[in-house]
Structure 1
Amino acid sequence: MLVHRPVRSETLRLAWAGLSLIAACYGLARFAYGLFVPVFRVEFGLDAAATGAIASSAYASYCLAIVVATVLTPRLGGRTLAVLAGCAATAGTLLIAVAPNAAVLTVGVIVAGSSTGVASPPLAHAVAHAVAAPVRNRTQAVVNAGTGVGVAVAGPIALLTYGQWRAAWFVFAIACAAVTGWVARAVPSTRSGDGPAALLPRPLLPAGSGRLVVAAALTGVASAATWTFGRDLLVTAGGMSQRPATLAWVLLGALGVLGAAAGDLAGRVGVGRAWLLTMTTLAAATGLLAALPGGPVVACVAAGAFGAAYIALSGLLLIWGTRVYPNAPAAGVGVAFLVLALGQGAGASLVGIAAEAVGLRPAFAAAALVAALGAGLRPRGS
Structure 2
Amino acid sequence: MRSVAIMTAASIRTRITSLFGCKYPIVLPGMSWISDHDLVAAVSNAGGVGILASGPLNAKETREAIHRIRDSTDKPFGIGCTLLMPGAKENAQIALEEQVPIINISLGKGDWIAQRAHEYGGKILATVTNAKHAQSAIDSGADALMLTGHEAAAHGGDVTSLVLVPSIAKRFPTVPIVAAGGFADGRGLAAAICLGADAVAMGSRFAITKESSLAQHMKDIVSNNEIDGGSTESDTVYGKNFDGIPARVLKSKESLRLNAKPAPLPTVIYRAFRAAQTMNIPLYKVLPGLVTQWDKMYMVAQFGAATESLMKATIDGNFEEGVQFIGQSQGLIDDVPSVDELVQRIIREAIDASVHGRDTFGGR
More strand as a share of residues = 2
Same fold? TM cut 0.5: no
Q: Give the alignment's TM-score, normalised by structure 1.
A: 0.26
More helix as a share of residues = 1
Structure of greater relative contact order (alpha carbons < 8 Å, 6+ residues apart): 1
